[in-house]
Structure 1
């Protein structure tokens, strides 16, 4: 992975975390155990500290950055969807920030809360624990249901498994020219969109 020191400060990655080779880590970045950092994510600790606590995942094309003295933190089992941007904010334990959402300076996403995809969480906003916010700017919709919380936790566990799978089997290779007849199927139990879980419950 492209990994850069700045002012003598070197990123730290726990050996049980998986950081995709195309992700970029700069400066004061601290990635804890069992984390997953996806392709082309940018974690820039060149002004402020970037922290991923145990089991957090930051998916492809996400950006984490912040101001000096205002760390950008994703707590334990935090789940950051594709293309999201976090800037000098805190995402508490078991919270989810949806795809292409933006969370601004000094905002706090409470434990087990969900920020819907494409939402804009304004600077200084406090999202209460286990609530759902959506929109631009983000507004409170309701409490997160038991089914939604279970779905979120299953999705995060799938990323824990993905980190382990990547550490064990992820290798750069050349593409085949055609599909082989005995091609293995990928197995990702529990990886379902929320709409699918609603239809079965």
Structure 2
């Protein structure tokens, strides 16, 4: 896995986390236990710190970057495929849907779901247990039905899938 020190700060990855061999981590990055960082992800912490909390997953080809503060992906949170997460806070067990963008200073509350393709603009606060929809995301709906099922089950699905990849991938 490509891990790079930058200006004296190096990524710290818990031994029980899994980083795909094609993911890239640069600088002041912390990845906690049972978290997973998938194929093609770039996490670049050259201005500030990025923390991927316990059990969180950052899926294929997403990018996380930070300004001068701390960008945090909360415990059990999901960053879906092809997302851009920039200098913001993602709450515990929140789910950022595929192709979404969450920008500077935004706060995504616990167990919120950012609908696929949505853009959370700078400084926006998405309440917990809601679904944020749109580009820009201005519509907040209650977390119910299928959306709730995704938030409820995705963290464990990805922890199990992480174990399978950790134990089962081999170069060909």
Please, what TM-score do these two structures have when normalized by structure 1?
0.83
RMSD: 1.1
> 2-side partners of 1:141 and 1:25: how far apart?
33
- Alignment deviations for residues 141-163 of structure 1 (CA, whole Å, 9 cap, x no partner): 31101553233221221100011
1:17 has 2:17 as partner: yes
Q: How does 1:1-201 map to 2 (within 5 A)?
A: 1-68=1-68, 70-145=69-144, 147-173=146-172
> 1-side partners of 2:152 and 2:140: how far apart?
20
Whether the aligned pair in 2 keeps the contact of 1:4 and 1:11 (CA below 8 Å) is yes
Higher strand share: 2
Classify the secondary structure of the residue corresponding to 2:104. Answer: coil
> 2-side partners of 1:135 and 1:123: how far apart?
14
Give the deviation of 1:48 after TM superposition. Answer: 1.5
Task: Provide structure 2 residue ranges, at least 5 long, that are not aligned to the other structure.
Answer: none
Task: Provide structure 1 residue ranges, at least 5 long, that are not aligned to the other structure.
Answer: 174-201
Please, what TM-score do these two structures have when normalized by structure 2?
0.96
- Alignment deviations for residues 102-157 of structure 1 (CA, whole Å, 9 cap, x no partner): 00000000001010011110000000011111111101231101553233221221
Corresponding pairs, count: 172
